[in-house]
Amino acid sequence: MRFALIATTAAAVVAVPFAVAAAGPQMSSNEFLAAVRCAAYEDVSGASVQDAKYQLNTESRRQSAETVAVAAAAVDAIALQAVNSQTPADRAMLRAQRASACSGAGAGAEGANAI
């Protein structure tokens, strides 16, 4: 009986820090927002970002509700901008914004998938 109590206590002391680390965010809110913006630009450009979306959706469960709301608003704004891009100048601006967003997130789709 005493051995079981000691073993259970030791397991709890070891497991709790791991559980807390696993439940906490893996990215800062700024890193998360940058990765979301990059993935959104990659998505509207036609790149395959399914893995990045999956990883970002998983990470969104660890982020604060406010950060997730900002990220969702950014995705909506990027999608709306892409839909409204009519002229070559609009599309060039979208490509420039994509390059800018993805340069901080790890240079393109590979950076978004590396999250």
Euclidean distance between CA atoms 72 and 34, whole angstroms: 12
Q: Is residue 20 part of a domain?
A: no
Output the pLDDT for position 6.
53
Q: Is residue 84 part of a domain?
A: yes
Q: Is 7 domain-assigned?
A: no
Whether residue 100 lies inside any domain: the answer is: yes
Alpha helices in 24-87 (DSSP H): 29-44, 50-60, 65-83
Examine residue 1 and state whether it is found in any structural domain, yes or no.
Answer: no
User: Is the pLDDT score of 113 beyond 80?
Assistant: no
Q: How far apart are alpha carbons 25 and 21 in whole angstroms?
A: 8
Residue 94 within any structural domain of the chain: yes
Asked, for residue 76, whether it belongs to a domain, the answer is yes
pTM score over 0.75: no
Range 106-112 contact pairs with CB under 8 angstroms and sequence separation of 24 or more: 106/35, 106/38, 108/38, 108/42, 109/42, 109/47, 109/48, 109/49, 109/52, 111/35, 111/38, 112/35, 112/38, 112/39, 112/42, 112/49, 112/52
16 inside domain? no
pLDDT in tens, 25-68: 689 999 999 999 999 999 998 888 899 999 999 999 999 999 99
Q: What is the predicted pLDDT for the residue at 55?
A: 95
Total domain count, the chain: 1
**pLDDT, tens digit, 9 for 90 and up, residues 59-111:** 999 999 999 999 999 999 999 999 998 899 989 999 999 999 998 654 444 44
Domain assignment of residue 97, given as a range: 28-113
Higher pLDDT, 83 or 18: 83
pLDDT for 104: 66
pLDDT reported for residue 9 = 52
Distance set, CA 44 to CA 9, 68, 110 (Å)? 51, 20, 16
